[in-house]
Amino acid sequence: MSRSAFRSHFWPTLDLAYPVMFSQLGHVLVNVCDSIVVGQTGKVPLAAVSLSVNVSTVVMMLGLGTTMGITPLVAAADGRRDVPALGRLLVNGVWMSLIAGIGLALFGLLIPLLLPYLNQPAPVVALATPWVRVMFLSFLPLMVFQGFKQFAEGLGLTRQAMLLSVQANVLNAVLCYGLVFGKLGLPELGMMGAAWATLAARVLMAVLMAAYVLVAVRLRPYREAATPRLRPDAAGLRRLLGLGAPIGVQMTFEMGAFSFAGLMMGWLGITQQAAHQIAINVASVTYMAASGIAAAATIRVGKYVGAQDGPGARQAGLMAYLVTFAFMSLMGLVLVLARHHIPPYYNHDPAVVRQATDLLLIAAAFQVSDGLQVVGLGALRGLEDVKVPSVVALLAYWAVALPLGYVLGFRLGWGAPGVWVGLLTGLTLVAGLLLVRFWGRRALRTTLVNEPALAVR
């Protein structure tokens, strides 16, 4: 890549990525805040948060991933300057997200019935059950937020969701502190206060994001294109689901692996489960930052595909890889240096702190792999290549990472670090395979003149 090409891709990638980073961080910072505040009340409530997050996040990722099919389609339509198609995508995307949100909220009524069968400590299950119900209820406004957010991001409008996420996280932090400890004139609800704070923050996010898309002057042409028919059309929904569902499945496989690892920690004990929550919480922050770069890759690759410029799409994807490698290498170094200082912010139990410190060292080791696999997924989504990555994720996490983690952790007696070494192996395998797939795409080496946008694979 020449110096001029480097500059032409580096700054646009950063310009798109950093707002999405903060927006994506908003999802995980809610859990970070909840874990830090609840962790001050004891290791059993912290372990209950771990169980709740492990169960609810798997389902949440299925919903969030489904909405991510909106972004590459919007980016491609924007690259073609197809305003009518953008109007249809706005209507279909919001309707799909709303329906999915209702489904997830209702599904939350069933999940607590399954908790006693996960072989977790009884005190942890008792505290987690009501928390899970409220978390699933919060998925309805979260999905509405996602529907509008993914449409705006597909157009390159990433700063608005970032600002809204910051505001919502401030509200969540204030309410979480007030409701957990009974401060600021609010009732003392213990760990359930954090759950209600999350629900309130997500309602605010949905209302403000919808207001922006429905009022912003720059989006008026797309609203006008959508106005004649505000009902979804079956073909449009199938198109969105055809792209979004495999993304949701892939994200569920990945997050499901980490969640199942959390359940294995519960088999080891409350201390290991609480330590896992600390380490996975911290690792999630850096992951979500990398996913912001991945979102930028989806947008930029998708626009080049829409404009039928294969080499430009390839350079955009490789730039996202380069930025991610540099960023996650730095994050790995930060975790190595800070691993002894982070755990006490969550919990002061000496055993929990020692175990979390060991896990953070492994988290530092998989930073680059974690970042490269998520940016690989983002670049391939821009090509509407989503089915093969889902299969890769299924095999790497569930046929390699988890079985290896179980053998190391339980059969060979490594305990919690053994489970995490299995996760490290799975992440590295996925990162390598996706890089090979993106690098080998022949369509990215030639200009796609007189060819349609790449079909879903």
Residue 336: per-residue pLDDT? 96
Q: Tell me which long-range contacts 123-129 makes (C-beta under 8 A, separation of at least 24).
A: 123/44, 123/48, 123/270, 124/44, 124/47, 124/48, 124/51, 124/266, 124/270, 124/273, 125/48, 125/51, 126/48, 127/44, 127/45, 127/48, 127/191, 128/48, 128/49, 128/51, 128/52, 128/55
In a domain, 215, yes or no: yes
Number of domains in the chain: 1
Residue 446: per-residue pLDDT? 56
In a domain, 121, yes or no: yes
Residue 453: per-residue pLDDT? 39
In a domain, 457, yes or no: no
pLDDT digits (tens, 9 = 90+) for 235-280: 889 999 988 888 888 888 888 898 889 889 989 998 998 899 889 8
In a domain, 302, yes or no: yes
In a domain, 18, yes or no: yes
In a domain, 450, yes or no: no
Residue numbers of the domain that contains 337: 3-445
Average pLDDT of the chain to the nearest whole number: 87
| Position 72 confidence tier, pLDDT thresholds 50, 70, 90 | confident
Q: Give mean pLDDT, residues 400-423.
A: 95
In a domain, 451, yes or no: no
CB 63 within 8 A of CB 235: no
In a domain, 37, yes or no: yes
Return the exposure string of 177-206: e unless at least 16 CB atoms fall within 10 Å of the residue's CB, then b.
bbbbbeeeebeebebbbbbbbbbbbbbbbb
